[in-house]
Amino acid sequence: MVGITSVGIYVPTYRLSRDEIAKAWGTRSLGGEKAVANCDEDSVTMAVAAVLDCLSGNQERIDGLSFATTTAPYKEKQGAAIVAAAVDLVRESRTADCTNSLRAATTAMNAAIDSVSSGSARNVVVTASDCRIGAPKGDFEMELGDGAAAVIIGSSDVIASVEGTYSVFDEFTGVWRSDEDTFVRSAEQRFVNTEGYVRTVQEAVSGLMEKYKLTPKEFSKAVFYAPDAKSHANLARSLGFDPKTQVQDTLFNTIGNTGAAAPMIMLAGALEKASPGDRILLASYGDGSDVFIFNVTENIDKIQCRPSLKECLARKKYINYVKYASWRGLIEIEASRRPSPPTPAAPCLWRERESILTLYGVKCRNCGTVQYPPARVCTTCQAKDNFEKYKFSDKRGQIFTYSIDYLAVTSDPPGINAVIDFDGGGRMQCELTDCTPEDIGIGIPVEMTFRQLYQSGGIHNYFWKARPIK
């Protein structure tokens, strides 16, 4: 039996209400709100958060990771390798990027399922993450949201087994972005949604039903990617699913259309409430459609693997339109009159990769002192070369002291930085993120989160920041 063994979700903290967008432009609001990645987040950082959520320790059993997105930070440099390094997978893992299509997540899931079924891998993490931008004043700006999810595909302790799959490809110019485009482009909406989305997903789902001799009423839940609420409703109805009882919430009005991540985030939502014996349909869309049948097993009740979409959605703060626009680089703001950080030297980045990407420090075997960064001579007892590796990224801590720094170079001033004391030992000076000065004080508990520090020389420099624990 091959299927999903764990699920993780990550939704950024911030929300932009559609009323705010409408107010900025004097246009009509679609109602609801969308999730907005912080200026220090991107598809890679969100994927790391989602993968850590579904891993909950036990990285050693993972031997593959696929990163699915349409908004990869690099055109040439594997995002999956960065994610794998940050979440601390073993080196002999098979990493792969799956990009350029809204159905990248399900493409990657199919590959993982085939891989585990054939025995070429045992446990493969598939993570989907997107951070697409719609042109200002347009529909996409209202609709698109940011988010990520991750599943582990394996063959032991499966919570939702794969009963069947079906795919169609479709060469269709509906929604696209060239390698130079910042904004998602679209052909005429009604055409795209009827001839593209609805027709294609109908075809794929019908094909699946016929292949496996199933009818809509044999499914507890139907999870469909949705470009918008109306098309989604049309599709569901045309296929014969009951919108009230069967169709999974698209989260369109709570986080927006999260692109490649959407099918997986919605699936996570379905699994959060599923019971053993439920049959779930999943259909993606983008240059075709991948459809899956999942059977929920009793393991879903036994194992601590249920994602908490509810918690992710509850954690939110609102921003205004100007902040959103400056975070996404839509408005170029006056540069701070401080030097730009230099491009880090590649040899240094490589030498320090474990302490930078995975936040490894060391623990002295002689006196037990935990310290960061890794050292050869202990800060407490001066013992030399007598350490074991010690990971900080999964540790919690508290603020020992801090400042609200108006002089620090940051995309979103003021910078908030602090000295963090970790539970179990060790201390680090950190930038804080996803918070305002009101959230900060001595003793506030924090957790670590993987973020982008800055870009220079075309390189995205990632590191960890601290975030107050909700």
Partner 1 sequence: MESIKDKVAIVGMGCTNFGERWDKSVGDLMVDAAYEAFDDAGIEPKDIQAAWVGTVFSGLTAITLAPLQLQYIPMTRVENMCATGSEALRAAAYAVAAGVCDIALAVGVEKLKDSGQTGVLGPRVVGTSSIGNSGIEPNYSAPASFAYLASRYFHDYGIDPGEGKKLLAQIAVKNHYNGSLTPKAHYRQEITMEQVVNAPIVSWPLGIFDCCGVSDGSAAAIVVRADMAKKFRPDPIYIKALSICVGANQGKMRQDYDFTHIEENVRASRMAYNEAGIKDPRQELSIAEVHDCFTIHEMIIYEDLGWSPRGRAKEDIEAGTFTLRGELPVNTDGGLKCFGHPLGASGLRMMYEVYKQLQGKAGPRQLKNPQLGLTHNLGGTSGAGICSCCIVGNQKS
Q: Which of 323, 328, 465, 467 lies at the binding interface for partner 1 (CB under 8 A)?
A: 465
Is the distance from CB of 75 to CB of 34 less than 8 angstroms?
no
Minimum CB distance to partner 1 smaller for 136 or for 415: 415
Q: What is the distance between the alpha carbons of residues 55 and 407, in angstroms, rounded to a whole number? A: 38
Whole-number Å distance between alpha carbons of 208 and 201: 10
Tell me phi and psi for residue 168, to 5 degrees. Answer: -130, 145
**Closer Cβ to partner 1, 326 or 461, answer by number:** 461
Cα-Cα-Cα-Cα torsion 84, 85, 91, 92, nearest 10 degrees, comes to 10
Cβ closer to partner 1: 164 or 413?
413
The binder of partner 1 chosen from 344, 354, 383, 439 (CB under 8 A): 344
Tokens 């390698």 -> residue: 179
Is the Cβ of residue 183 or residue 454 nearer to partner 1 in the bound state?
Answer: 454
Return the number of the residue (326 or 403) whose C-beta is nearest partner 1: 403
User: Which one among 91, 213, 244, 337 touches partner 1, defined by CB under 8 A?
Assistant: 337
Interface region with partner 1, contact rule CB under 8 A, candidates 186-194, 206-214, 251-259, 453-461: 453-461
Considering the complex, what minimum distance in angstroms separates the CB of residue 449 from partner 1? 13
Residue 320: CB minimum distance to partner 1, A:
22
Nearer to partner 1, 205 or 359 (CB): 359
Contact between 341 and partner 1 by CB under 8 A: the answer reads yes
34: left (phi over 0), alpha (psi -120 to 50) or beta: beta
How many Cα atoms are found within 13 Å in the side-chain-facing hemisphere of 284? 32
Q: How many residues does the chain have?
A: 470
Among 189, 336, 386, 455, interactor with partner 1 by CB under 8 A: 336
Give the C-alpha separation, 464 to 430, whole Å.
8
393-432 footprint of partner 1 as x/- string (CB under 8 A): -------xxxxxxxxxxx---xx-xxx-x---xxxxxxx-
The stretch among 82-90, 108-116, 176-184, 351-359 that binds partner 1 (CB under 8 A) is 351-359
- Measured from the CB atom, is 119 or 457 closer to partner 1? 457
Q: With binding defined as CB under 8 A, does residue 371 bind partner 1?
A: yes
Instruction: Provide the greatest CA pair distance for the chain.
Output: 72
Tokens of 147: 């988010």
CB of 345 to partner 1, least distance (A): 4
The size of the interface with partner 1 (CB under 8 A), counted in residues, is: 50
Q: How far apart are CA 81 and CA 462, in angstroms?
A: 13
Measured CA distances, 162 to 113, 262, 266, 315, 372 (Å): 8, 19, 17, 32, 44
Which residue from 240, 379, 436, 470 is in contact with partner 1, where contact means CB under 8 A? 379
Q: For 334, which DSSP code?
A: P
Tell me which of 253, 453, 455, 460 binds partner 1, using CB under 8 A. Answer: 453
Smallest gap from residue 465 Cβ to partner 1 (A): 7
Q: Which residues pair with 182 in a beta bridge?
A: none
What is the spatial distance between Cα 449 and Cα 469, in angstroms, rounded to a whole number? 11
Strands, E assignment, 155-252: 160-169, 175-176, 185-186, 221-224
Nearer to partner 1 by C-beta: 320 or 429? 429
Which residues partner with 10 through β-bridges?
148
Report the residue number, 158 or 364, with the smaller CB distance to partner 1: 364
What does each C-alpha distance from 177 to 89, 120, 173, 416 come to in angstroms?
32, 34, 10, 36
Asked if residue 434 binds partner 1 (CB under 8 A), the reply is no
The CA radius of gyration of the chain, in Å to the nearest whole number, is: 23
Distance of alpha carbon 433 from alpha carbon 223, whole angstroms: 33
Minimum distance, C-beta of residue 339 to partner 1, in the bound complex (Å): 6
Does 90 contact partner 1 by CB under 8 A? no
Residues making contact with partner 1 (CB under 8 A): 336-339, 341-345, 348-349, 351-352, 356, 369, 371-372, 379-380, 400-410, 414-415, 417-419, 421, 425-431, 437, 442, 453-454, 461, 463, 465
